[in-house]
A and B are shown apart, each in its own frame.
Chain A
């Protein structure tokens, strides 16, 4: 919102510099987004002169040589001028030698094409008044010769662009800001004088309206009082439409409003002064001499002032005459109901509309105005009538005319009354430092928060209790805590004294998800991964590729902002691939990327928000090294995923990975999965689908892994580990190779072998470990078969095992294997 400093000065004496005023506004709680100076800067040695003669320059076609009278003191000057309008008899501004014009333009006595010139006559742009360079600035009204420029130029102004917080609708006006500044600088606030004699004759309602010009307006009817708590209409006859006075036009223009005519300008002026929007009708154009405030009929149309037809709905409030809507209430009038050049009789609307109603309509129609901006944030219904009276004064002053009865007023019957009791002690406890009681009280009163009662409290040392009367425009003040801020604002938040942070011991530990993310990020970065951060919202296509066509609908936003950010991510891998592709496309060789973050996994029509960690192992495309390392493969990915699961307390030894079949995004036969939403965690790893990689323009093979877990599962934590005794006696080792179908998973064979071996050892000793140490397929084995070689380690807790007992057991294992399985022992 733009606020003019000259305008503010109507209401408050401001001697402070612009910087000081900015600082005051800032620490009162309004952000100063911009400060602009208008008008001429201070100009020394620039005075009024009259051109007495004009002659053509002897040596230049386009120049003139003028004699200029600059008053008795300095007399005549000869000045060479290039302007077309340096006609004799004109009064202009003359920059004399010694003057410094904007842009550090120094004026000296000089010779121009051989002709002496004693100065320069000025165009508007040369003295910093806009960009007009078409000719000399011609002064009107015969200003005294020799008078300094500052006496004849319109005074400059300073315009502040302020951001008003939504809790302060009272400051959406010059008076509101002036009130705050008066409080800050401790000076008086001068309200504009109201002269309207009819103020006293205001009627009490529809009934008993005093007779008057009922031929202008016969009735005001409010059908939707919940959306329009107050509606008033005043009548003026005999107005003459014309331009508003220069001072008013200047002020409106300074704050960015285009002057229209005296009636419209007065409405805007009063709105900018008081914050109360007003609307003037040409009485002739109100069909049936009626005003009806009602909801629109669905499909009803109106062509607003901006020339656009608008279709209304039944939730929108309109001001209508007997037959049609003439204003979208509080937002914008129709083009054909306002004042014209020949308007003589006015109906002046001053009303208050419901904030929500205005906001909803304005948003729905994508139509806003200075008026709707103020109604949306709230207008003080108890100050509305004074704004109407102020407007009538200004209309009479600028457009002639005469206020006549009747005055219509509907609603506005609820009186304003609010008092807050607050103690000095209460405020001190909340701010944490001392402000003397009398200063707090003075702060209230400077803001017109009148202390109606001051009483001692039970502990007199803690200061008094105040009963504070809240003015109607401060609806935001409702509780004692609200007054704390008023005291602080006026005291100055810059003056809050420093102190040290008092800190007790920690009252908890970091959240398990935070601890987990920290741990796995440390792990992955420690393993040379680059940590990435990608957007959570992904394109539908990517989402479908990972979550599958069934789940993708459930991940969709109701109101995406852009098409490529429409769905929640179901994996971190998609984002990582995008990062990979970006680096590849920029020629950056990258092989290891990782990320932690929330993902959303669908199960049985529900999404589950999971904490997740993922990584990519890509071929570093384009990178050449003097020595090649063995590239990452499935088992590298599996190793890292197992580590990420272990960090969450999940042991793959107990929950082995299985081949992922039909898993979206992953290459069949080269990827694995473990867990599931039902278990509370889900792991995947392996080669990414080659077709997808190609489709997304990613080069090379990419292995990936992801571990996701429900936060609540992570919070459960793992129990404390218990020590188990271990044997110091030597182990006995045996190797065993079995030939199985090539498609049989090693884990299945191992499981069978482990069971048989444990049974064979019985209680005598333990099978300590069983690991695959060789996998072979090819020559010497039948087609479709593979050999798995296992190392069996036996150990006893209490003695050294003898060859004999181990051999017996080993034979038993082989016999049992041959007897109960289709596996063949490879000799």
Chain B
């Protein structure tokens, strides 16, 4: 019996590693453990084994059975591996490009806007939004724009016919004309009317001017404005914000300077210059980047804030202009053509 068992195990050790397919494997397996298999045959002989030898023979049979099973498992695993290998095919050329399209790209205006929003969020500003179609009140009246101010002129601002109706933009006063906002300052008014101080918002958004489209002008462009309303807000705080913004954006060596200027909604008002030596394609020492100032008391009165208690500052700039400076883009029209040659340059 022992010889028989060793013989069949030796045979299996030779035979099973040569098996290549599942049917071959099943056939081979049957030759050992099938109804007429060799091992089955040995087991059938157990009845003839003398009683005192049975435990030893039984142990031998079990050991052989376990050893066979290990052979089967190994053979099966090898066959399964071979089958999978057949499925995945020969080694691939990893240097071929992916036939999938991509990657997608964010528009440079989005990249710059989001970077500005992140910088401002660190110092407590959250992003506000508002409608692009506005009424004269939110765009001009509440911002201390005199009735005869040129900005209101039909030459400079897009208006809608008196018959136009906008279902989700309510005029504040009867008979107000609808227009396309000329600055995102209207969002400041809406935010102040809808909330209470302290307020710290940044309002990026699309604005419209009735202007010839050329390398630096566009019928619509994007602005980004900041408004801060609190107690004891000073010119020095405003300067600190601008120093912080541009140092964050362009590196700690960046400086800003204020030049006195005039805007109806701030007093005092300043234009902001940026030290520009390290910017691409800029040859000047200083370049103008935006306007800012201390919120004019008239604006606070318009939204029902007491200017004796509340003070604030506002800052605004053009996003296209900023993106042009950052990336060295020399024509604003590129932003609106969406040529992939352009868009792909700013990926990641």
CB-based A-B contact count at 8 angstroms: 256
Is A507 touching B104 in the complex (CB atoms < 8 A)?
A: no
Q: Are A28 and B262 in contact (CB under 8 A)?
A: no
Contact of A609 among B166, B200, B262 (CB under 8 A): B166
How would residues 484 to 524 of chain A score, 1 for a CB under 8 Å from any chain B CB and 0 otherwise? Answer: 11001100011011111111111111110110001001001
Within 8 Å by CB of A508, from B101, B126, B339, lies B126
Asked if A432 CB lies within 8 Å of chain B CBs, one says yes
Which B residues lie within 8 Å of A629 (CB)?
Answer: 99-100
Contacts of A359 in B (CB 8 A): 148, 150
Residues of A within 8 A of B128 (CB): 511, 514
Contact with B along A588-608 (1 / 0, CB 8 A): 101111100110100101111
Q: Which residues of B lie under 8 Å from residue A815 when comparing CB positions?
A: none
Q: Does the CB pair B260–A511 fall under 8 Å?
A: no
**Of B32-40, B45-53, B60-68, B204-212, the one touching chain A:** B204-212
Cα distance A142–B144 in the bound complex, in angstroms? 63
Whether the pair B241, A501 counts as a contact (CB closer than 8 A) is yes
- Determine if A579 is an interface residue (Cβ-Cβ < 8 Å): yes
Let me know if B104 and A526 touch, CB within 8 A.
yes
Binds B, one of A165-173, A202-210, A745-753: A165-173
Residues A493 and B104 in contact, CB atoms below 8 Å apart: no
Judging by beta carbons under 8 Å apart, are A502 and B237 in contact? Answer: yes
Q: How far is the CB of A582 from chain B (nearest CB, A)?
A: 6
Does A73 have its Cβ within 8 Å of any Cβ on chain B? Answer: no
Is the Cβ of A627 less than 8 Å from the Cβ of B99?
A: yes
Which residue on B lies nearest to A484, using beta carbons?
A: B268
Asked whether any CB of chain B lies closer than 8 Å to the CB of A27, the reply is yes
Instruction: Please report which residues of chain A, range 20-63, place their CB below 8 angstroms from some CB of chain B when the two chains form the complex.
Output: 26-29, 31
Chain A 149-193 against B: per-residue CB contact (8 Å), 1 yes, 0 no?
000000000000000011110000000000000000000000000
| B281 on the A face (CB < 8 A) | no
In the complex, the answer to whether B260 meets A27 with C-beta atoms within 8 Å is yes
The answer to whether A591 and B101 touch (CB under 8 A), given A26-B259, A485-B269, A530-B340, is yes
A665 within 8 A of B: no
- The size class of the interface chain B forms with chain A is 35 or more
Q: Does B12 sit within 8 A of A, measured CB to CB?
A: no
Which of B104, B167, B337: most chain A CB closer than 10 A? B104
**A782 on the B face (CB < 8 A):** no
CA distance A31 to B270 in the complex (A): 11
Please, how many angstroms separate the alpha-carbon atoms of A485 and B292 in the complex?
13
In the complex, whether A710 has a CB less than 8 A from a CB of chain B is yes
Contact B165 A554 (CB under 8 A): yes
Given that A525-B106, A533-B335, A711-B131 are known contacts, is A489 also in contact with B260, CB under 8 Å in the complex?
yes
A600 to B166 Cα, complex, angstroms:
9
A356 within 8 A of B: yes
- Complex CA gap A156/B218 in Å reads 41
B268 touches A496 (CB 8 A): no
Whether, in the assembled complex, A558 has its beta carbon less than 8 Å from a beta carbon of chain B, the answer is yes
Q: In chain A, what residue has the closest Cβ to B121? A: A506
Query: Given the complex of chains A and B, what is the CA–CA distance between A609 and B133 in angstroms?
Result: 8
CB pair B104 A606 closer than 8 Å: no
Within 8 Å CB of A600, what residues of B? 133, 166
> Judging by beta carbons under 8 Å apart, are B167 and A608 in contact?
yes
Distance in angstroms between the alpha carbons of A594 and B338 in the assembled complex: 10
Question: Is A586 among interface residues, defined by CB-CB distance under 8 A?
Answer: yes
Instruction: Report the stretch among B16-24, B73-81, B135-143, B228-236 that lies at the interface.
Output: B228-236
Report if A557 contacts B (CB, 8 A).
Answer: yes
Report which of B100, B158, B167, B239 forms a contact with A528, defined as CB distance below 8 A. Answer: B100
Contact of B235 among A432, A526, A620 (CB under 8 A): A432
A-chain residues with CB within 8 Å of residue B167 when the two chains form the complex: 603, 606-608, 677
Tell me whether A166 and B262 are in contact (CB under 8 A).
Answer: yes
Q: In chain B between 115 and 169, which residues have their CB closer than 8 angstroms to a CB of chain A? A: 117, 121-124, 126-129, 131-133, 148, 150, 153-155, 158-169
The answer to whether B104 and A524 have CB atoms under 8 Å apart is yes
Q: Is A625 located at the chain interface by the 8 A CB criterion? A: yes
What is the chain A residue whose CB lies nearest that of B273?
Answer: A26
Q: Judge whether A493 and B258 touch: CB under 8 Å.
A: yes
Contacts known (A493-B259, A499-B237, A711-B131); A628 close to B99, Cβ less than 8 A: yes
**CB-CB < 8 A to A726: which residues of B?**
none
Kindly identify which residue among A432, A493, A561, A588 contacts B341, using a CB–CB cutoff of 8 Å.
A588
**Among candidates A431, A499, A524, A626, residue contacting B99 with C-beta atoms closer than 8 Å:** A626
Let me know if A722 is at the binding interface, CB within 8 A: no
Per a CB cutoff under 8 Å, which of A513, A531, A561 touches B110? A531
Assess whether A474 is interfacial by the CB under 8 Å rule: no
Determine whether the beta carbon of A609 is less than 8 Å from that of B132. Answer: yes
Partner of A503, one of B104, B122, B294, B343: B122
Q: Is the CB of B258 within 8 A of A496?
A: yes
Complex formed: what's the CA distance from A461 to B155 in Å? 53
Task: Give A482 to B262 CA distance when docked, in angstroms.
Answer: 11
Given A27-B260, A29-B259: A513 and B103 within 8 A (CB)?
Answer: no
The residues of B that contact A482 with a CB separation of less than 8 Å are: 267
- The stretch among A64-72, A242-250, A534-542, A770-778 that forms the contact with chain B is A534-542
A498 touches B339 (CB 8 A): no
Q: Which of B294-310 contact A (CB under 8 A)?
A: 294, 296-297
CA distance A485 to B199 in the complex (A): 24
Q: Would you call A500 and B259 a contact (CB within 8 A)?
A: no
Instruction: Indicate whether A88 reaches chain B with its CB closer than 8 angstroms.
Output: no
Least distance between A378 CB and chain B CB atoms (Å): 11
Contact digits for B78-114, partner A, Cβ 8 Å, 1 yes 0 no: 0000000000000000001101111111110110001
B168:A525 contact, CB within 8 angstroms: no
CB of A561 within 8 A of CB of B211, answer yes
A525 near B105: Cβ-Cβ < 8 Å: yes
Contact between B234 and A430, CB atoms less than 8 A apart: yes
Residues in A neighbouring B105, C-beta threshold 8 A: 525, 530-531
The answer to whether A485 touches B267, judged by C-beta atoms less than 8 angstroms apart, is: yes
Give Cα distance in the complex from A493 to B261, angstroms: 11
The yes or no answer to A563 lying at the interface (CB within 8 A) is no
Q: Collect the chain B residues with CB atoms within 8 Å of residue A557's CB.
A: 158-160, 180
Is A479 an interface residue, CB under 8 A from the partner? yes
B339–A496 touching, CB < 8 Å: no
When A481-B296, A511-B129 are in contact, do A496 and B236 touch as well, CB less than 8 Å? yes
Which residues from chain B contact A534 at a C-beta distance below 8 Å?
336, 338
A429 on the B face (CB < 8 A): yes
B1 at the A interface (CB under 8 A): no
CA gap between A199 and B243 in the complex, in Å: 55
Which residues of B approach A to under 8 Å, CB–CB? 96-97, 99-107, 109-110, 114, 117, 121-124, 126-129, 131-133, 148, 150, 153-155, 158-169, 180, 195, 198-201, 206, 208, 210-213, 218-220, 232, 234-237, 239-241, 243-244, 257-262, 267-271, 294, 296-297, 311, 335-341, 343-344
Q: List 25 A-B contacts (CB under 8 A).
A: A165-B262, A359-B148, A429-B232, A430-B311, A482-B267, A484-B235, A488-B235, A496-B235, A504-B198, A506-B121, A506-B124, A506-B200, A508-B126, A508-B195, A509-B126, A530-B340, A533-B335, A536-B180, A536-B208, A562-B219, A592-B101, A598-B132, A603-B167, A626-B99, A627-B99
19 further A-B contacts with Cβ under 8 Å, apart from A359-B148, A527-B104, are: A31-B259, A356-B148, A429-B234, A431-B235, A431-B236, A501-B244, A503-B124, A528-B101, A536-B132, A537-B158, A556-B160, A559-B158, A582-B339, A591-B101, A606-B166, A607-B133, A609-B132, A626-B96, A626-B99
CB-CB nearest 8 A-B residue pairs: A432-B234, A432-B236, A29-B260, A528-B102, A485-B268, A165-B262, A579-B338, A606-B167
